[in-house]
Structure 1
Amino acid sequence: MVKALLLENVHSLGRETLEKAGVEVTTLKGALDEDELIAALDGVEMLGIRSKTQVTARVLDNAPSLTTIGAFCIGTNQIDLAHAATNGVAVFNAPFSNTRSVVELAIAEIIALTRRLTEKDKALHGGVWDKSADGAHEVRGRTLGIVGYGNIGTQLSVVAEALGLRVVFYDTAEKLALGNATRMSSLDDLLDVADIVTLHVDGRAGNAGMFGAAQFERMKPGAIFLNLSRGFLVDYATLRERILAGTVAGAAVDVFPVEPKSAGEAFDSELRDLPNVILTPHVGGSTEEAQQDIGLFVSAKLRDYVTVGATGLSVNVPPLILDRPREGAYRIAHLHRNVPGVLAGVNQTLSAVGVNVESQVLGTSGELGYVVTDIGGPLPGSAVQALEDMDPTIRVRVLDQAVLPAG
Structure 2
Amino acid sequence: MTKPKVLVSDKLSETAVNIFRDNGCDVDFQPDLGKDKDALLAVIDQYDGLAIRSATRVTEKIIDAATNLKVIGRAGIGVDNVDIKAASRRGIIVMNTPFGNSITTAEHAISMMMAVARQIPSADASTQAGKWEKSKFMGVELTGKTLGLIGAGNIGSIVADRAQGMKMRVVAFDPYLTDEKAERLGIEKVEMDELLARADFITLHTPLTDKTKNIIDAAAIAKMKDGVRIVNCARGGLIVEADLAEAIKSGKVAGAGIDVFEVEPATDSVLFGLPNVVCTPHLGAATTEAQENVAVQVAEQMAAYLTRGAVSNALNMPSITAEEAPRLTPFVKLAETLGSFVGQVTESAIKDVQILYDGHVSEMNTKALSSAVLAGLLRPQMADVNMVSAPVMASERGIRLMEINRAKSGVFDGYIRIDVTTATTTRSIAGTVFSDGKPRFIQIKGINMEAEAGPHMLYTTNGDTPGIIGKLGTMFGEAGINIANFYLGRNKPGGDAIALVELDAPVPDDFLEKLQGHPDITSAKPLEFTF
TM-score range, shorter chain: 0.7 to 0.9
Q: Secondary structure at the match of 1:233?
A: coil
Name the structure, 1 or 2, with higher relative contact order (CA <8 Å, separation 6+): 1
CA distance in 2 between counterparts of 1:108 and 1:76 reads 25
Aligned to 2:256: 251
* Displacement after TM superposition at 1:132 (Å): 3.1
Residue by residue, what CA displacement relative to the aligned partner does 1:207-253 show, whole Å, maximum 9, x if unpaired? 32222111222221111111111112221112111112111111111
Residue by residue, what CA displacement relative to the aligned partner does 1:288-338 show, whole Å, maximum 9, x if unpaired? 010111111111111111122222332221123x6xxxxxxx969659962
Q: Secondary structure at the match of 2:28?
A: strand
Matches within 5 A, 1:28-107: 28-30=30-32, 31-32=34-35, 35-107=38-110
The answer as to whether partners of 1:98 and 1:294 remain within 8 angstroms in 2 is yes
Does residue 315 (structure 1) correspond to residue 315 (structure 2)? The answer is: yes
* Displacement after TM superposition at 1:193 (Å): 0.6
CA distance in 2 between counterparts of 1:11 and 1:214 reads 44
Between 1:83-92 and 1:151-160, the stretch displaced more is 83-92
Q: Secondary structure at the match of 1:242?
A: helix
Is the alpha carbon distance of 1:87 and 1:303 closer, same or farther for their aligned partners in structure 2, counting shifts above 3 Å?
A: same
* Displacement after TM superposition at 1:200 (Å): 1.1
Aligned to 2:330: 338
Is the alpha carbon distance of 1:242 and 1:72 closer, same or farther for their aligned partners in structure 2, counting shifts above 3 Å?
A: same
Letter in 2 for 1:251: A
* Displacement after TM superposition at 1:152 (Å): 0.6
Match of 2:219 among 197, 214, 237: 214
Between 1:130-139 and 1:292-301, the stretch displaced more is 130-139
Match of 2:8 among 6, 9, 20: 6
Residue by residue, what CA displacement relative to the aligned partner does 1:149-195 show, whole Å, maximum 9, x if unpaired? 1211111111111111111111132342243211112x222111111
CA distance in 2 between counterparts of 1:219 and 1:99 reads 28
Q: Secondary structure at the match of 1:25?
A: strand
Match of 2:25 among 23, 26, 44: 23
Letter in 1 for 2:152: Y
The answer as to whether partners of 2:119 and 2:137 remain within 8 angstroms in 1 is no
The answer as to whether partners of 1:73 and 1:95 remain within 8 angstroms in 2 is yes
Letter in 2 for 1:338: P
Does residue 236 (structure 1) correspond to residue 247 (structure 2)? The answer is: no
CA distance in 1 between counterparts of 2:297 and 2:325 reads 22
The answer as to whether partners of 1:12 and 1:295 remain within 8 angstroms in 2 is no
Aligned to 1:346: none
Is the alpha carbon distance of 1:339 and 1:103 closer, same or farther for their aligned partners in structure 2, counting shifts above 3 Å?
A: closer
The answer as to whether partners of 1:222 and 1:249 remain within 8 angstroms in 2 is yes
* Displacement after TM superposition at 1:102 (Å): 1.0
Is the alpha carbon distance of 1:313 and 1:272 closer, same or farther for their aligned partners in structure 2, counting shifts above 3 Å?
A: same
Is the alpha carbon distance of 1:246 and 1:63 closer, same or farther for their aligned partners in structure 2, counting shifts above 3 Å?
A: same
TM-score by length of 2: 0.59
* Displacement after TM superposition at 1:26 (Å): 2.0
Q: Secondary structure at the match of 2:215?
A: coil
The answer as to whether partners of 2:7 and 2:28 remain within 8 angstroms in 1 is yes
Is the alpha carbon distance of 1:250 and 1:213 closer, same or farther for their aligned partners in structure 2, counting shifts above 3 Å?
A: same
Does residue 183 (structure 1) correspond to residue 189 (structure 2)? The answer is: yes
CA distance in 1 between counterparts of 2:53 and 2:263 reads 15
CA distance in 2 between counterparts of 1:44 and 1:3 reads 5
Is the alpha carbon distance of 1:312 and 1:210 closer, same or farther for their aligned partners in structure 2, counting shifts above 3 Å?
A: same
Aligned to 2:113: 110
The answer as to whether partners of 1:72 and 1:94 remain within 8 angstroms in 2 is yes
* Displacement after TM superposition at 1:8 (Å): 2.6
CA distance in 2 between counterparts of 1:38 and 1:173 reads 40
Between 1:330-339 and 1:207-216, the stretch displaced more is 330-339
CA distance in 1 between counterparts of 2:177 and 2:115 reads 32
The answer as to whether partners of 2:118 and 2:137 remain within 8 angstroms in 1 is no
CA distance in 2 between counterparts of 1:319 and 1:337 reads 10
Aligned to 2:469: none
CA distance in 1 between counterparts of 2:365 and 2:264 reads 43
CA distance in 1 between counterparts of 2:306 and 2:279 reads 39
The answer as to whether partners of 2:46 and 2:68 remain within 8 angstroms in 1 is yes
Residue by residue, what CA displacement relative to the aligned partner does 1:21-65 show, whole Å, maximum 9, x if unpaired? 121222333434655433231121111122243323333233121
* Displacement after TM superposition at 1:19 (Å): 1.5
Number of residue pairs aligned between Structure 1 and Structure 2? 341
Between 1:272-281 and 1:117-126, the stretch displaced more is 117-126
CA distance in 1 between counterparts of 2:9 and 2:247 reads 38
The answer as to whether partners of 1:76 and 1:203 remain within 8 angstroms in 2 is no
Aligned to 2:134: 131
Is the alpha carbon distance of 1:45 and 1:204 closer, same or farther for their aligned partners in structure 2, counting shifts above 3 Å?
A: farther
Letter in 2 for 1:281: P
CA distance in 2 between counterparts of 1:211 and 1:33 reads 34
What percent identity do the matched residue pairs reach? 34
The answer as to whether partners of 1:33 and 1:54 remain within 8 angstroms in 2 is no
Is the alpha carbon distance of 1:294 and 1:339 closer, same or farther for their aligned partners in structure 2, counting shifts above 3 Å?
A: closer
Q: State the Cα RMSD in Å.
A: 3.0
CA distance in 2 between counterparts of 1:332 and 1:7 reads 33
Q: Secondary structure at the match of 1:26?
A: strand
Q: Secondary structure at the match of 2:6?
A: strand
* Displacement after TM superposition at 1:284 (Å): 0.7
Aligned to 2:412: none
Q: Secondary structure at the match of 1:198?
A: strand
Runs of 5+ consecutive residues of structure 1 not aligned to the other structure: 261-265, 323-329, 341-359, 371-389, 394-407
TM-score by length of 1: 0.76
The answer as to whether partners of 1:336 and 1:392 remain within 8 angstroms in 2 is no
Match of 2:171 among 156, 168, 172: 168
Is the alpha carbon distance of 1:181 and 1:277 closer, same or farther for their aligned partners in structure 2, counting shifts above 3 Å?
A: same
* Displacement after TM superposition at 1:123 (Å): 1.9
* Displacement after TM superposition at 1:144 (Å): 0.8
Residue by residue, what CA displacement relative to the aligned partner does 1:67-107 show, whole Å, maximum 9, x if unpaired? 11111111123223243233222222111111111111111
